[in-house]
Amino acid sequence: MSTATVKRKLIDIQPAVFEKLSLKAGREGVSLKRYIENLLEEDSWSVDADVPEGISSPEIISLIGIAKGKASVDWEDDRLKYLLSK
């Protein structure tokens, strides 16, 4: 991870969540900061798995996430393919 490409953000964490994450980080032998970074990095990779092949526009990807929600989507549906092609 290069420092030139890292984005820094201050985040607020509820005390109960902070304590639980601290315990988990301790069990894994890493700092809380590194533990949270690892969780976020792992979670970010799952975003790509939900995007149909050929879709690269961040605007479209964000809409897919909103529309998909928790429901399963049949990416082979011809109507969906037609709508996404526009």
Same-domain status, 40 and 63: no
- Asked, for residue 71, whether it belongs to a domain, the answer is yes
Domain region containing 32: 13-49
Residue 86: per-residue pLDDT:
67
pLDDT value of residue 46: 67
pLDDT value, residue 30: 95
Return the amino acid letter for 30.
Answer: V
Do 24 and 45 fall into the same domain? yes
Report which of 49, 71, 70, 72 is spatially closest to residue 61, judged by C-alpha positions. 49
Do residues 67 and 85 both lie within one domain? yes
Residues 16-75: pLDDT tens digits?
Answer: 999 999 999 999 999 999 999 999 888 877 665 566 777 777 777 667 655 555 556 666
| Sequence-distant (≥ 6) Cβ neighbours of residue 36 within 8 angstroms | 21, 25
Give the pLDDT of residue 14.
94
Rounded-to-integer distance, Cα 8 and Cα 44, Å: 16
How far apart, in whole angstroms, are the C-alpha atoms of residue 3 and residue 1? 6
